Amino acid sequence: MPLKAILFCSLLLVIFLAVFHPASATNRIIMPKELEAILRQNLLKETVAKEGVNFNDASGYDRAIADGNQEFLQTLKAQTLTNNIYHLVADMGLYRLRGDFKAAANCLQPIENNTPQNIINPQLIEIEEFQAGNYLLNGDIAEWRRRLQTVKTKYYPPIQQLPGLEKFSLKYIERVTLKADSRLIEPPSVTGIKGIQSLPLFYSSVAPQTAQKQTFFTPHLKVKVNNITQLFELDTGTYIGILPLHWVHNPHVQVIGTLNTSQDILGNRIETIFGIVDEIEIGNAVLKNIPFSFSNETEPSLGIYVLRQLGRVQISYDQLRFGEGLNYPCQQNIRLATAPDGSTAHLKIQIQLNNQPMMAIFDSGSGDYQNDDLLLQQPVLVIPKEGQLKKAVVNTTAGSHSMRIYQDINNLKIENIELGSVKVIHTQMSKNQAILMVNILKKTSLYLDFIEGKSCLIKRD
C-alpha cells in the first residue's frame, strides 16, 4: 500500500477514535502495520537511525508552509470535507504566514484536545511538530521546551519497545539539546512602542580599538543590550537575531541549549547555541527576555523576530521607523515562510522580473557587494536574457575580491511598483530562490504591520 494511502487510512482511524472513543481506556499502542514496517525499514539506514525520523507530508502542506504559499493554503481551507484535519491546519498555516503564531497555536488545540493518546499517527506527530514550532516562533521558549519533552515522553518509549524500532527517534527533537529549566524562563515582553519613533541606519562606523572607519553594505542600528550600546546589523533574512559567541558568558544571558536546525539564507545548516537575553533597548522600546542565537559571527544582528515585537515597522535605506502609531494602508498579507519546527522564517515578496512572476526573499542582510539589487540562485530560476551575462571583479565588505556574474535587466516590478533597471546577480547554488537585496531600499521602503498581518513596499519619491 502506498505511503500516502497508509497515512490517509491511519488518519481516518484517528478521527473515528476521537469521535467515538474520546478517552482511550487502554494503554495499547495503535499503529498501522504498514507504517510500522516502513519505520523499521527506514531505521536500517544509518543516517535515519542517527538523526531521527522525519515524516514528510504527501499533501504538499509542509512545502506550502516552507515556501510561504498562501494560495495553496487558501485552496486547502476551501476543502470543507467533514472531519478534514487539513482544514484546521490550513488556518494554522495562514496565521503562520501572517506572523500570528499565537493564533496559529490556537488552531491546533481542537485536534490536540480530542485525540486519543495511544494513537501513533504520522499526521498527528507532524502536527505536534508544527505546534512546538509555533511556540518557538512566538518566543514562548518555556512552552516550546515543555512540548518537545512531552512529545519525546509520549512517543519514544512505546515505539522503541517494538521489535526493530529500538532506535526510533524524531529528527526535529534530536536536533535540539536543551539545558535550562523551562520554569525559569520568563515570556518575552515589550514596552515603549506607542506612537512613532524614527532611528537612523548606519553604513559606516569607527572601530574603537583602531579608530579606523569601517564601511558596511548592509544597514546597521544602534541597540543597547543590557546597558551596552553597539551597532547591530538589521537583517530581514534571519528570524532569531545573532550575538557573538562570547556573549554566552554574560550574566544577563541564559543559555537554553544547542540548535542545529538553523539555516542561513543560502540553505547552509548551522549549529548554534540558543539563549535568552534579559533586555535590549531600541530607541524608547524596551524588549525583555528576547531569544538570540550565539555564534562565531563577527557582528551582532537583529532579525524579523525583534521587528515583530515592535508592532509596525517601516524600513528605508537610511532609517527605521516603528511603533503602533504607524498606519499605512497595505493590502497584501505578510508572507513568512517557516520551517515546520519553527527554526527558520523568511520574508517573501511577490515580484515580476521581465514579466515573469516569482516569490523572492527580502533580505536586508544580503549586500556584501555594492550596487546589487537582486540575487538569483540557479538553475531553476531561468530568466529571459536581454543580453550576454557580464563578469566583473568586485570588492567585498571583508576587503577581498570576487568575480560576479551579473545582468542588467530593465523591468523589475514589485507589488505593482515599477522599479525600472536593476542589477541582477547570478549564482550557482543548490537552493533555488530569488533574494531581494538591500539596494532595493534605495528605491522603496518596506512596511510591515505585524498587528494586522499586512505588508507592502512604498515607492520612494
pLDDT at site 287: 97
Tell me the average pLDDT across 218-233: 91
Tell me the average pLDDT across 112-121: 75
Tell me the average pLDDT across 110-116: 74
Tell me the average pLDDT across 245-270: 75
- 376 touches 446 (CB < 8 A): no
pLDDT of 85 > 90? The answer is: no
Higher pLDDT, 3 or 416: 416
- 85 touches 15 (CB < 8 A): yes
- 87 touches 11 (CB < 8 A): no
pLDDT at site 440: 85
Higher pLDDT, 261 or 79: 79
pLDDT at site 1: 40
Question: Which of 97-106, 164-173, 246-255, 422-431 shows the lowest mean pLDDT across its residues?
Answer: 422-431
Domain 332-459 in the same topology as domain 189-310: yes
pLDDT at site 382: 52
Alpha-carbon torsion, ordered 123, 127, 129, 131, to 10 deg: 180
- 259 touches 286 (CB < 8 A): no
| Cell numbers found for residue 132 | 512546538
Phi, psi of 31 (to 5 degrees): -145, 130
351: part of which helix (H) or strand (E)? strand 345-353
Residue 425, helix vs strand vs coil = strand
Question: Which of 6-15, 117-126, 305-314, 373-382 shows the lowest mean pLDDT across its residues?
Answer: 6-15
pLDDT at site 270: 60
- 354 touches 411 (CB < 8 A): yes
pLDDT at site 94: 93
Q: Give the list of residues 6+ apart from residue 378 with CB closer than 8 angstroms, or none.
A: 426, 427, 428, 429, 432
What is the band of 304 on the pLDDT scale with cuts at 50, 70, 90? Answer: very high
pLDDT in tens, 1-57: 433 433 433 443 344 344 334 434 345 678 888 888 889 999 989 889 888 998 876
Higher pLDDT, 66 or 375: 66
**Domain range list for the chain:** 3-174, 189-310, 332-459
Distance CA 210, CA 420 (A): 41
Q: Give the list of residues 6+ apart from residue 181 with CB closer than 8 angstroms, or none.
A: none
pLDDT of 206 > 90? The answer is: no
Which fold does the domain 189-310 belong to in CATH? Cathepsin D, subunit A; domain 1 (2.40.70)
pLDDT at site 379: 45
Most confident of 154-163, 258-267, 345-354: 154-163
- 423 touches 373 (CB < 8 A): yes
pLDDT at site 253: 92
Alpha-carbon torsion, ordered 206, 210, 212, 215, to 10 deg: -60
| Cα–Cα separations (whole angstroms), residue 387 to 46, 413, 423, 425 | 48, 19, 13, 14
Residues of the chain with pLDDT > 70: what percent?
A: 76
pLDDT at site 16: 36
Tell me the average pLDDT across 333-356: 88
What is the band of 133 on the pLDDT scale with cuts at 50, 70, 90? Answer: very high
Tell me the average pLDDT across 273-280: 93
Alpha carbon 38 to its chain's center = 30
Residues of the chain with pLDDT > 90: what percent?
A: 34
Alpha helical stretches, state H, 220-321:
304-309
pLDDT at site 429: 58
Tell me the average pLDDT across 157-174: 91
The widest CA-to-CA distance across the chain, in whole angstroms, is 73
Question: Domain 332-459's class?
Answer: mainly beta
Residue 14, helix vs strand vs coil = helix
- Is residue 397 packed enough to be buried (19+ CB in 10 Å), middle (13-18) or exposed (0-12)? middle
pLDDT of 111 > 80? The answer is: no
pLDDT of 403 > 80? The answer is: no
pLDDT at site 135: 94
pLDDT of 118 > 70? The answer is: yes
| Cα–Cα separations (whole angstroms), residue 297 to 141, 247, 399, 453 | 23, 12, 17, 31
- 368 touches 233 (CB < 8 A): no
Phi, psi of 144 (to 5 degrees): -60, -50
For residue 170, the 8-state DSSP code is B
Distance CA 276, CA 279 (A): 9
Higher pLDDT, 2 or 250: 250
Higher pLDDT, 206 or 423: 423
Distance CA 377, CA 424 (A): 10
pLDDT of 406 > 50? The answer is: yes
Q: Give the list of residues 6+ apart from residue 249 with CB closer than 8 angstroms, or none.
A: none
